[in-house]
Structure 1
Amino acid sequence: MKKLRFFLPMQLVLGLLISAPSLAATQLDVTGKGMVSVAPDEATITAQVSLVDRDAAKAQARASKEVDAMLSAIKSFSLKPDTLNASELSLLPEYRWDRAIDQQQFIGFRVTRTVSFTITDIDRLGAALSALANAGATLLSSPVMGSSQAHDARDEALVKAVEDARKKLTLLAGAAGMSLSSITQISEIAPNSPRPQPTMMRAERALDSASSNTFVPGNLTFLAEVRAQADAE
């Protein structure tokens, strides 16, 4: 029995290949950013008392007395619950170099006690710093502003970042004469920003800065960034 063979014209084969839809979609890759600003409604303050005594026990007793005075001084202010911390203590021997005998001389033991807390009545920031300085604090931090709405602000910034990424994907697809098929992947880019650290200053300088008892804090800015990938046809 003879086998039948069929041959298609080359022009027809090429036409079928050209008219067949492409199985591989074009992939788009963008980043989106979102930003939200809110007014601060709280501030974290760090105060220290640091002193030297040749007797370690006496040094600790003196420092504890100063800490008790600072804690009493801030009782009239509204503090954020569970933020008061007065447990940090440092005890180290201190020396100075005596050029006359060309060797170190023991001065005493330096005790440093730290008190930190978050105040919620921003309008009384200056008064709080003054109260701490008058109570015996030797070092005071520049207040680190914060917001009780920080979590919601970060979420809102993330939503805006996703919206920005989707807008860019649609714009790219349209500019290339294609239509956006679907977003295949989206992920948050972790912000590379260190947590703000308090800047310590001598209590005398902090007292001068707070003499007017007036602070005008700027808004807090929360940023979010995402990476999104999508198919376009």
Structure 2
Amino acid sequence: MKKLLASALLFCSLTATAGSLPEAPHLYVQGQAKLQVKPDRATIRMAINDQQMQVADAKRNVDAVMAKAIGIAKKFNIIEKDIHAEQLNVYRQNTYNRETNQQEFAGFRVTRTLNLTLSDVDKYPELLQALVEAGVNEFYDTQFSVAEHNNILKTVQKAAIKDAKLAAKELAKDFDVKLGKLYSVSFAPMDTPVVPFLRAQAKMMDAESSNVGNAYNTGYITIDAQVYAVYFID
């Protein structure tokens, strides 16, 4: 986990406001925290395509490449539940003949999709190269993620709560009022027209480079959280 950034948006209302805010004098604050983490999982979506005049021939070629791809996945320690090989789809292909102004049969296109989730991101470029060499001829996208996302989010939420507490104390001090009890807290903003006052935000530290192979850079994933709290003031 890298570089926790905390900042706060401050809301102040000394009179009654609409929505879920109390009628008594209060402070409405937002705490915020961010954490940059290096992804440790890569989900790759790809497909194997072949076109032949006979469906059986195209299917045979596609199935052969699929078998190779699954074998490669297992060599990269991708477990069964992270290998999703879909059933094949068959499409009739036609081409337009300009001389006859007719659509002519060009064969059958057979395709199968394959989704793999790699738990060792450092091996991502090696896996791609092996799949290409095996005959996989279409790649859709790759989604990078963090296996412990929920646990990290809890940590970030706690930091956001701490930030909201500090924001409330600082704002109360700046306005020479006494901070009272907590009225409400939520991870979603309240339905109120109050315009936020933004406190000076801490400068975000630069993330360390995360090169994966010579031609790939997975970068970092930002996990953030916000918490909204209302405090009474005296």
Compute the TM-score of the two structures, normalised by the length of structure 1: 0.71
Q: Which amino acid aligns with 1:221?
A: T
Q: Which runs of 5+ in 1 are unaligned?
A: 1-23, 191-209
Match of 1:95 in 2: 94
Match of 2:222 in 1: 221
Identity across the alignment (%): 25
Task: Provide Cα deviations, 1:169-212, integer angstroms capped at 9, x if missing partner.
Answer: 2222222221221222222139xxxxxxxxxxxxxxxxxxx9x6
Mapping of 1:139-150 within 5 angstroms? Answer: 139-141=138-140, 143-150=142-149
Match of 2:231 in 1: 230
Does structure 2 conserve the Cα–Cα contact (< 8 Å) formed by 1:85 and 1:117? yes
Match of 1:197 in 2: none
Q: Which runs of 5+ in 2 are unaligned?
A: 1-22, 190-211
SS of residue in 2 equivalent to 1:137:
coil
Task: Provide Cα deviations, 1:76-115, integer angstroms capped at 9, x if missing partner.
Answer: 1122562110125332222333333334333232222111
Change beyond 3 A, Cα 1:177–1:135? same
Match of 1:26 in 2: 25
SS of residue in 2 equivalent to 1:189:
coil
SS of residue in 1 equivalent to 2:82:
coil
Change beyond 3 A, Cα 1:118–1:101? same
In 2, Cα distance between the equivalents of 1:93 and 1:184?
A: 65
Mapping of 1:34-73 within 5 angstroms? Answer: 34-73=33-72
SS of residue in 2 equivalent to 1:25:
coil
In 1, Cα distance between the equivalents of 2:169 and 2:87?
A: 54
In 2, Cα distance between the equivalents of 1:47 and 1:26?
A: 58
Compare CA radii of gyration and give the structure with the larger one: 1
Task: Provide Cα deviations, 1:48-90, integer angstroms capped at 9, x if missing partner.
Answer: 1112223333322321121011112222112256211012533
Mapping of 1:1-233 within 5 angstroms? Answer: 25-79=24-78, 82-141=81-140, 143-189=142-188, 215-233=216-234
SS of residue in 1 equivalent to 2:90:
strand
Q: How many residues align?
A: 191
Match of 2:17 in 1: none
Compute the TM-score of the two structures, normalised by the length of structure 2: 0.71
Compare the two structures and name the one with the higher helix fraction: 1
Change beyond 3 A, Cα 1:86–1:213? farther
Change beyond 3 A, Cα 1:176–1:135? same
Q: Which amino acid aligns with 1:152?
A: N
Change beyond 3 A, Cα 1:89–1:184? farther
SS of residue in 2 equivalent to 1:74:
helix
RMSD between aligned residues: 2.6
Compare the two structures and name the one with the higher strand fraction: 2
In 2, Cα distance between the equivalents of 1:167 and 1:81?
A: 47
